[in-house]
Copies of this chain bind each other. A is one copy, B any other.
Amino acid sequence: MADFPTPETRWLTDEERTAWLRLIAVTMLLPSRLESELKRDAGLSHFEYYVLAMISETPERSLLLTEVAARTNSSLSRLSHVVGRLEGQGFLSRCTSPHDGRASLARLTEAGWAKVVASAPGHVEEVRTVVFDSLEDGQVQQLSEICARLLGALDPQHVLLGLGERLP
């Protein structure tokens, strides 16, 4: 659209272009692969699994919705709908935070915990087959470092990795 005032487009080199096409292909295929594996084996969407798994890793097996939303890069609206569904299926329950009347905690039920325990191995196996089995030893470290740098641009506060607030 507004193409004129721009000094000059810095087009991609061939090397960059190839890397880009491959990266974009990965970001298209990887989510849908995980999606269908989880749907088939656990009856959950990847997002639903991710929410349950994240809550399951806390000591109390409960998390503030705001916190879940931040760590999953989801809007509170989306999360509210999804948590409503998961609650309807009996995997978690909502209760108002004792410290803050606005906030609600999502707490895993026994069924929810069981669901995670049952689904995790298959999911990890899938991750292993798709990602790590394909890579040489050194490449895991390389991938990690590269993604860390990309996240520096995509998520400067590192909210998604749950490191949002590291107190001073």
Contact = CB atoms under 8 A, between A and B. Distances in A.
Majority SS of interface residues in chain A?
Answer: helix
A31 interface: yes
Interface residues of A, number: 65
A90 interface: no
B151 A146 contact: no
Contacts of A120: 9
A125 interface: yes
Contacts of A26: 27, 147, 150-151, 154
A33 B23 CA distance: 14
Contacts of A10: 124-125, 128
Nearest to A144: B19
A30 interface: yes
Given A1-B122, A26-B27, A118-B1, A19 B151 contact: no
Given A27-B27, A73-B29, A149 B139 contact: yes
Contacts of A121: 3, 6, 9
Contacts of A143: 19, 22-23, 143, 146
Q: Which 5 A-B pairs have the closest CB atoms?
A: A22-B147, A19-B144, A9-B121, A29-B154, A134-B149
16 contacts: A1-B118, A6-B125, A9-B120, A12-B124, A12-B132, A19-B143, A19-B144, A25-B161, A27-B27, A27-B31, A28-B73, A30-B150, A130-B154, A134-B153, A139-B146, A139-B149
Given A9-B120, A30-B154, 11 more contacts: A3-B117, A20-B127, A23-B131, A23-B147, A26-B150, A28-B73, A129-B153, A130-B150, A130-B153, A131-B153, A139-B146
